[in-house]
Amino acid sequence: MDANPILAEVVRGNWVENRYRGAYAVVDADGQIIASGGDIERAIFPRSAIKSMQALPIFARHAEDRFHHSEAELALACASHHGEADHVNTASGLLSRIGLSAQDLECGAHQPTNAAARDALRDAGLEPSALHNNCSGKHSGMLSVALAMGVPTAGYVGREHPVQKSVRAAVEAMIGEPLTEGKCGTDGCSIPTFAAPLRAFAYGFARMSTGKGIAPEYATAAQRLFDAATSHPHLVAGTGHADTLIMQAFKGRVMQKVGAEGVECGAIRDKGWGYAIKCDDGSIPASQAMLAGVLLAYADPDAEQRAVLEQYAHQTIRSVRGADIGVLRVTDAIKA
């Protein structure tokens, strides 16, 4: 099998220091490949890039009917957040309203990703809770699904729990592929993660964007989730993060979500196209350069949007003294 193309590289001085191989696909809601590079049929773990798909049971299992999730809570269900105050408060508010607390979350606790939030927690003499976990919004949504289904909340992260079976069914319905036990692992937040072809995740985001080829209840749910996420981009990531800045700049036109190990997924909503990207070695900065290249080539950015994308397409490397000494950049392997 041929190696994937070099989609990003690091240039230090006058020499290419490092090269990043990867694959990308831009797909429409009929499954037509608009553009691609590399092996798009290779199965990947999408990780957190598909949180919006994993949030679909909030609607499919009628948790939204029962608990009336706010737009902020729906955005947070799609998020890998930084543990800033609005992230923590939104997750805590939903849990309180449905009669649960941080102790019911089974995602584990870690320090906030945001440095200012970490400092504030330390200065207050507090330890991080599961609310600070970047997945606490997704897990709070899953707890609401468990309550709506009338099943135990304890153990909701297990592969055989009704909540995770519902999540698995929703993802399969979006990507048009079975999620098999032969390609299954456990995500960092303890829920199951299943591998499927890179192309299929791009296809799933195209179908979520358009509603084409999916059940009406999923189509409505997908629009609600995409609208919530793009209207509250800070809740989906946090201060200074690429996902937040890109969605802010595109003003609803682009739904964007990063996943661990160099995965990027999303939708160019006004075109009805989904995209999926995997950096082979898992580098997030390199995957962000690839993402910027795809959106520069296919999302028709205006000047403001182009300026935001360019800072990821060409990431300046600086010395400790602040001198410009190199660049991490997307290659010409991604172009219109």
Chain segment 224-272, per-residue pLDDT in tens: 999 999 999 999 999 999 999 999 999 999 999 999 999 999 999 999 9
The pLDDT value given to residue 133: 98
**Angle at Cα 136 formed by Cα 272 and Cα 214, nearest 5°?**
30
Exposed e or buried b per residue across 266-299, where buried means at least 16 C-beta atoms within 10 angstroms of its C-beta: bbbbebbbbbbbbbbeebbbbbbbbbbbbbbbbb
Contacts 24+ apart (CB under 8 A), 108-115: 108/133, 108/189, 108/190, 109/133, 110/134, 111/83, 112/82, 112/83, 112/84, 113/81, 113/82, 113/83, 113/238, 114/82, 114/83, 114/84, 114/238, 114/239
User: What does pTM read for this prediction?
Assistant: 0.97
Tokens at 16, concatenated: 């290419």
Chain segment 8-57, per-residue pLDDT in tens: 999 999 999 999 999 999 999 999 999 999 999 999 999 999 999 999 99
Q: Percent of the chain scored above 90 by pLDDT?
A: 99
- DSSP label of 203: H
Residue 336 pLDDT > 80, yes or no? no
The pLDDT value given to residue 272: 98
The pLDDT value given to residue 1: 64
Average pLDDT, integer, range 92-121: 98
Chain segment 146-162, per-residue pLDDT in tens: 999 999 999 999 999 99
Pairing between β-strand 314-318 and β-strand 15-28 as defined by DSSP bridges: unpaired
Residue pair 179/196 in contact (Cβ under 8 Å)? The answer is yes
Residue 223 pLDDT > 90, yes or no? yes
Sequence-ordered alpha helix ranges (H) in the chain: 51-54, 57-60, 63-67, 71-77, 85-97, 115-123, 136-149, 162-175, 198-210, 216-231, 233-236, 242-250, 284-298, 303-313
The residue extents of the domains of the chain are 6-330
Chain segment 46-94, per-residue pLDDT in tens: 999 999 999 999 999 999 999 999 999 999 999 999 999 999 999 999 9
Chain segment 207-222, per-residue pLDDT in tens: 999 999 999 999 999 9
C-alpha distances out from residue 195 to 18, 199, 266, Å: 27, 12, 17
* 14 beta partners: none
**Which residues have CB under 8 Å from 151's CB, separation 6+?**
161, 162, 163
Residue 307 pLDDT > 70, yes or no? yes
Average pLDDT, integer, range 278-291: 98
Distance of alpha carbon 108 from alpha carbon 105, whole angstroms: 7
The pLDDT value given to residue 2: 86
6-330: which CATH topology? Beta-lactamase (3.40.710)
**Angle at Cα 212 formed by Cα 209 and Cα 213, nearest 5°?**
130
